[in-house]
Structure 1
């Protein structure tokens, strides 16, 4: 019988103080959330990196960060704004290099509006891909050299395939996909998208990262696992063929729910 997949978690450094021993005991995957705002990226972030390195003394698990995303679109049609998005991505990579992180979560550009209109306008689907390349192409070589994988997380994505096709278009080991279970559940419940496990199946080997959060299919809840209506047995059955490849990151609004959520999934025989 194969061992259960090991859960990781996303958290800021303040929460890492609390969960450090739990993370290090099993060298769980970790995603730091301190490097997403312009204030941090444009300021002196070195003390945060120094604090992280001190807290992670003895940690040998897979480390990543959530990249910048507030107000940013990878498919921005304005070249001046697109240059800013590229700069933010470069700043995120600089943080990864300083930390020794090997993964950065970035947000899919696809919206619900796009789902209904990309085939309504000439070349609209291709235009989105071209705009994202204009944004990310300048940073891909650097990501490859730094051994950092950019993972495209579904946000409003109703179509599980669009961002997968986008990731494939780079033909680079540095661009893969992420699934946020709560975002997928919202899209399923509110916009008629497929259920969460379908997103996993459609991503297949491209899937290198999962945000695990529970929700009600109406909003982006980030509840503790078991508090919502996500079908967790179906999700983990879909994940099983992928082994330890995707990082299974609990991304909860209330960080005190991290360890109880791990216990909940362990009691179901799904993960530990």
Structure 2
């Protein structure tokens, strides 16, 4: 069953091209601009709770945001940190409270940067089957609170579908996790979908899908290859996104990547899509 009402169909030719980018990336915002990219997801790489208040790291990210702005790129999203210690699904209430407060602090930090979206992982891994229900309950609580906090500072939180034993490793479980968090959107990472095709997932998410991570894989485990190298049916993915009215950027999460290759890849995907739909 699809989630929510569908918006009017969009045209992939109108979508902007964006990429995931962090302080350790080998290319710069200037490289992105020169290659025809127009959007960025800034990855916040924090490892533990003690790092979150770090003024030095905050200043590094503020400098990066200034570089993005100087190139007239859109800071489409931030990616909140995902480590074992910063897992929002931990069942210990004291630990979970600390994680929620730390992630909330990062949302407030990012709000003045103008980012419209924030991607969050529903869990770390591995998750033993006997813990799954308790972890789902903890995650639901955390996402309900964090999505409200994000909305209060002008950011749309998006829970990302995840692979393997992680929470939200299929559409049904992700929608169940978000039942009590109506303000929370969804990030579709096509590399993380092993139990269903990306196009099926996208159509089930409907209007709740607010951002994407695009790369290819072998159908067995995530690889973050360039689209076209693996098993994903990209014309079907583009058509599914268009059918639900998706109007965000085609946001690559490819490792390693260079901006020129990303722009060329999307143009090739778009050519194939247009030929199919003549």
The normalised TM-score by structure 2 is 0.78
CA contact (8 A) 1:207 1:246 kept: no
CA contact (8 A) 1:179 1:200 kept: yes
CA contact (8 A) 1:107 1:153 kept: yes
Q: Which residue of 1 aligns with 2:191?
A: 182
CA drift of 1:258 comes to: 2.2
How many residues align? The count is 253
Relative distance call for 1:22 and 1:265 in structure 2 (3 A) is farther
Q: 2:265 aligns with which of 255, 258, 261?
A: 261
User: Which structure 1 residue ranges, 5 or more long, are not aligned?
Assistant: 119-123, 188-192
Between the aligned partners of 1:197 and 1:3, the Cα distance in structure 2 is: 15
* Equivalences for residues 1-272 of structure 1 within 5 A: 2=11, 4=13, 5-13=15-23, 14=25, 15-22=27-34, 28-38=38-48, 41-43=52-54, 44=56, 45-57=58-70, 59=72, 61-71=74-84, 72-109=86-123, 125=133, 127-156=134-163, 157-172=168-183, 175-184=184-193, 187=194, 193-256=195-258, 257-269=261-273
- State the Cα deviation string for residues 189-248 of structure 1 (Å, max 9, x = none): xxxx12121111111111001100100012210011111111111111111123343443
CA contact (8 A) 1:96 1:104 kept: no
Relative distance call for 1:3 and 1:223 in structure 2 (3 A) is closer
CA drift of 1:181 comes to: 0.5
CA drift of 1:94 comes to: 2.7
Relative distance call for 1:17 and 1:60 in structure 2 (3 A) is closer
Relative distance call for 1:54 and 1:113 in structure 2 (3 A) is closer
> Which structure shows the bigger proportion of residues in helix conformation?
1
- RCO higher in structure (CA 8 A, sep ≥6): 2
The normalised TM-score by structure 1 is 0.80
CA contact (8 A) 2:78 2:117 kept: yes
C-alpha root-mean-square deviation of aligned residues, in Å? 3.0
SS of alignment partner, residue 210 of structure 1: strand
Between the aligned partners of 2:170 and 2:20, the Cα distance in structure 1 is: 25
- State the Cα deviation string for residues 149-194 of structure 1 (Å, max 9, x = none): 110101124431221232242122xx1111101111xx2xxxxx12
Between the aligned partners of 1:60 and 1:246, the Cα distance in structure 2 is: 14
CA drift of 1:18 comes to: 4.8
